[in-house]
Amino acid sequence: MRLAKHLAAAGVASRRACEAIVRDGRVSVGGQLVTDPARDVGPGDAVQVDGRPITARGERVVYALNKPAGVVSTARDPQGRPTVVSMVPQTERLYPVGRLDIDTNGLILLTNQGELAHRLTHPRFEVEKTYRAVVGGPSVRDAELRALREGVELEDGRTAPARVQRISADTIEITIHEGRKRQVKRMCEAVGHPVKRLERVAFGPLQLGDLPRGRWRRLTDTEVDELMSWVASRRE
């Protein structure tokens, strides 16, 4: 395996960032300084970054899944309901990245990279998520869109400003970066429009696109690199 790929697989950084780390003279193999990211390394090679030993964690895996309603966003369920983890190939332990309510459809990620999952879900990184909501009540009015954009009062406090657009008389798209329980549903209820159907269509830089419901796709190495670079750019 090439040195930069070995470092990326160990979770040091994205592959592109690892190439720069090697070129900067921060990596040694078998006690010798190496500046060529394409240098081949094997399982028995002692690799260090800034004097710290690096151990490969195995292949980086990230799946994008279009979760159907009725599936729970956990690895296991004591009630025996289908889980998101059971819907993708399980070659190793996977973490669902955040959660969707059991009756909510849409994009959810699963990965074997714990740090990636943490950075995508911890509130301090303010990763945006976009939902498409079909709501009840009369047509959604401009005043209600403004209220959602400015933040609405809920029982656990006022929500942060959101990006909201009207798709049709009864459908809106809303982008939030908070992760409160049932937040989108409660926000819509607060302005008089109970949610009838909810789908997550984007998570950070990733889009649901035309992925069919109940189907998954594995992100390519390039997409994983880009996602890890994007996550690394988020504020600490």
What per-residue confidence (pLDDT) applies to 107? 98
Fold of 62-124+206-232: Alpha-Beta Plaits (3.30.70)
Q: Write the pLDDT tens digit of every residue in 181-231.
A: 999 999 999 999 999 999 999 999 999 999 999 999 999 988 988 898 888
pLDDT score of 91: 67
The beta strands (E) that lie in the chain are given as: 27-29, 32-34, 47-49, 52-54, 62-67, 95-97, 105-111, 129-135, 153-154, 157-158, 163-168, 171-176, 195-203, 206-207, 216-218
pLDDT tens-digit profile of 81-101? Answer: 999 999 998 767 888 999 999
Would you call 230 helix, strand, or coil by DSSP?
A: helix
pLDDT (tens digit per residue) in 158-168: 999 999 999 99
Under a CB-based contact definition with an 8 Å cutoff, are residues 90 and 61 in contact?
no
Asked if the domains 3-54 and 128-203 are classified in one and the same CATH topology, the answer is no
123, 127, 131, 136 alpha-carbon torsion, rounded to 10°: 30
pLDDT in the model for residue 12: 77
Q: So what's the pLDDT on residue 174? A: 98
Once rounded to an integer, what is the mean pLDDT over residues 19-42? 92
For the chain, what are the domain ranges?
3-54, 62-124+206-232, 128-203
Q: What is the CA radius of gyration of the chain?
A: 21
Q: Which helix (H) or strand (E) holds 189?
A: helix 183-190
196's CB contacts (< 8 A; 6+ apart) are 134, 135, 136, 170
* pLDDT tens column, 210-222: 999 999 999 998 8
**For 126-154, how does the pLDDT look when each residue is reduced to its tens digit (9 = 90+)?**
999 999 999 998 999 999 999 999 999 99
Q: Is 101 part of the annotated catalytic residue set?
A: yes
Q: 3-54: which CATH architecture?
A: Roll (3.10)
pTM: predicted TM-score of the whole model, two decimal places: 0.77
**128-203 CATH choice from 2.40.110.10, 3.30.70.1560, 3.40.140.10, 2.70.98.10:** 3.30.70.1560
Residue 58 pLDDT level (bands cut at 50, 70, 90) = low
Instruction: Take residue 10 and report the two structure tokens written for it.
Output: 């160990």
Candidate list 101, 142, 210, 225, residue with the active-site label: 101
pLDDT surpasses 60 at 236: no
Please, are residues 107 and 152 in contact by the beta-carbon 8 Å criterion?
no
